[in-house]
Amino acid sequence: MIVCENLVKIYKTADIEVVALQGLDLKVEKGELMAIIGNSGSGKSTLLNMLGGLDRPSAGRLWVDGKDMLKFTERELTHYKRKTVGFVWQNKARNLIPYLTARENVEIPLLLSGRRRRARALELLDAVGLYHRRNHRLDELSGGEQQRVAIAISLANEPKLLLADEPTGAVDTKTSAQIMDLFNALNRDLGLTIVIVTHDPGLAKKVNRVVAIRDGRTSSEMIRKKSYREELAELERQDEEDTHEEYAVMDQAGRIQVPPHILEALGKSGADRVKLSLEHNRVVLQFPDTDASGQEK
C-alpha cells in the first residue's frame, strides 16, 4: 500500500532550512495495522501529511496504492484525498462542527458523493458504536464519543488507507483502549490499511508492527510475535511477556541507528566511533576501549 524510498523533506524560509525527513525508507502492506512512534520533531507528522496528500516530498520516492504521488497533478491529488485516504486528527475540531449532531457531522463529507446521505451516515455511526447517539450534538458527547464520530467521518469516502494523527492523545486510558479496539475491528472487518502516528509506545500492544522514527529516518521496528487475537486469549500472560521483537532498520544507504536504550546501557553516546566486523555470519559493532583521557588504548 505504501512505499517510501529515501524520502526527504526540507522546509525553507527566507534564511533557514529545516530538514524534517532525511532519507526515510518505509513499506506498509495492504491491510496492515501499524503505528509510527517518535519524539517531537522526529518527522512522523511530516510523513503522515505527505501520505495524506497535504504536503509534498522534497526528494525521494513515495508510492501509495500503486500510484506515484510525486507525479500527481493538483486535480489528481484532490481525487486522491477524496477517494483513497481518510484522516483522523488529534484535534477533533479539524473533523467536527460543534453545533451539529453526530449524524449531521457524518453527512457533510457525503454531500458530494451522490448517495443517500442519511442512510450512509447511520451505517457509519453504527459501525463505530454510536447509532444510539446519532441525534446528540457534540457538546452532549464525551471526548471518546466525539473521536468515534471523527472516525466515522474519515470512513465516509470508503478509503483504502486510514491515517490517524495522535488519535488517543486527548482521551483517558480506558477510552484510548476502546478507540484502539475500534481500529482493530475496522482493520479486521473492512481490510482497511491503518497507519497511526503517536508518541505513546504503549500502543504497541494493540498493533502488529511499530516503526520508530528518529532524526528523520526509520531507526527500528517492533514486530508482533503472534497475532493480537492469540494474545487476547492469553490476557493473564500478556502483561508478563514482551509482545513484540525489536529490530534495528538498515536503510538503503546502509545506515543503522543503534536504539537509545542500548547506548544508555553501555554508557555511550551516538557520536562515538565503533569498529565493524563480520564474525560467523554476524555483524558486530564494537566500541573501542578508551583510557581516562578519552584516548583509544
Tens of pLDDT, residue by residue over 86-105, are 988 877 666 788 889 999 99
- What's the pLDDT score for residue 63? 94
Can you spell out the DSSP letters for the chain?
A: -EEEEEEEEEEE-SS-EEEEEEEEEEEE-TT-EEEEE--TTSSHHHHHHHHTTSS--SEEEEEETTEEGGG--HHHHHHHHHHTEEEE-SSGGGT--TTSBHHHHHHGGGTTT-S-HHHHHHHHHHHTT-GGGTT-BGGGS-HHHHHHHHHHHHTTT--SEEEEESTTTTS-HHHHHHHHHHHHHHHHHH--EEEEEES-GGGGGGSSEEEEEETTEEEEEEEESS-HHHHHTTHHHHTTS--EEEEE-B-TT--BPPPHHHHHHHT--TTS--EEEEETTEEEEEPPPB-TTS-B-
Query: In the CATH hierarchy, which top-level class contains the domain 2-269?
Result: alpha beta
What is d(CA 37, CA 222) in angstroms, rounded to the nearest whole number?
A: 11
The lowest-confidence range among 49-63, 100-114, 138-152, 182-196 is: 100-114
- pTM of the shown model: 0.77
What percent of the chain is predicted at pLDDT more than 70?
Answer: 84
- How far does Cα 43 stand from its chain's mean position? 11
For residue 98, give the C-alpha cell. 460543534
The lowest-confidence range among 133-147, 182-196, 231-245 is: 231-245
Domain boundaries, the chain: 2-269, 270-297
- What's the pLDDT score for residue 75? 92
Tell whether the model's pLDDT for residue 296 goes beyond 60. Answer: no
Tell whether the model's pLDDT for residue 251 goes beyond 90. Answer: no
Tell whether the model's pLDDT for residue 31 goes beyond 80. Answer: yes
Give mean pLDDT, residues 14-41. 87
Contact 225, 244 (CB under 8 A): yes
Tens of pLDDT, residue by residue over 124-159, are 999 888 899 999 998 888 888 888 899 999 988 889
Name the band, by pLDDT with cuts 50, 70 and 90, for residue 42: confident
- What's the pLDDT score for residue 278? 82
Higher pLDDT: 256 or 36? It is 36
Give mean pLDDT, residues 194-209. 81
Q: β-pairing, 2-12 with 209-214?
A: unpaired
